[in-house]
Amino acid sequence: MANVKVVVPGDIIETRTEANEEPVLRLGPGLTHQNDKTSAVVAGVLHNSSDSNQWWVASNKRRYSPAEGEPVVGVVVARHGEGYRVDIGSAHDALLPLLAFEGATRRNKPNLALGSVVYARIVVANLMMEPEIECFNSHTGKSEGYGELSDGFMFKCSLGLAHQLISAKAPVLNALGSELAFEAAVGVNGRVWINAESPEKTILVANAIKNSEHLNASQCKQMVKELLGRN
């Protein structure tokens, strides 16, 4: 992460890079792009990932605002003729088409029950339309980790912590991974799904993640050891 600073609504964000070929600009929560200019729409801390040219504003807001390409964890709340309605924590439920899964056809498509947890990505995010999600990468046709999340445990966290966990260098996930075997799916909508070899270890991982928001790497390691009883 680089170029971290505080912004307020209306601030113009300089997103150009020194690369010979300008990479695709990816905007996350808190930013908008109009008339060839990127500006902030909320107050918070500006972040960007140089690897993907992704920019977003981390704020203390409680409700998630969908942005295209973002991974989310959602809960199926209704089914209709063409798909499902999924609660992703935003102002409106997201639409999940029946065919938005790897290998899905009219004759062969998943049958999700109400309450099912899914890992998906935002494909439509427009103020004039309900958000739409998919449980595969429509460009490659592969699931790439998206789909129904069976078993395990889902919990909520702050949007700021969710963005920290998405990073490959998330200290708490690295500390836990060196001690335990577990699966995790992190949505930038402030929801995390965990599955470990036992309910006790699943809850331990969830508690460690919840406690990590304001800890550095060394503090995360110490906290994980204490939770495991390895002082």
CA–CA gap between residue 70 and residue 31 (Å, rounded): 14
Angle between helices 199-211 and 217-227 (to 10 degrees): 150
Buried b (16+ CB within 10 A) or exposed e, 135-157: bbeeeeeeeeebbbbeebbbebb
The partner residues of 227 in beta bridges, in order of sequence, read: none
CA–CA gap between residue 144 and residue 73 (Å, rounded): 14
Please list the pLDDT of the chain residue by residue as tens digits (231 residues): 444 588 888 899 887 755 545 567 777 777 888 888 888 887 888 877 766 677 878 776 678 888 888 999 999 999 988 899 999 999 999 999 999 999 888 888 889 999 999 999 999 988 788 999 999 988 888 999 999 999 999 999 998 899 889 877 889 999 999 999 999 999 999 999 999 999 999 999 999 999 998 899 999 999 999 999 875
Which one-letter DSSP state was computed for residue 102?
T
Rounded to whole angstroms, what are the CA distances from 135 to 142, 160, 205, 221? 9, 24, 25, 33
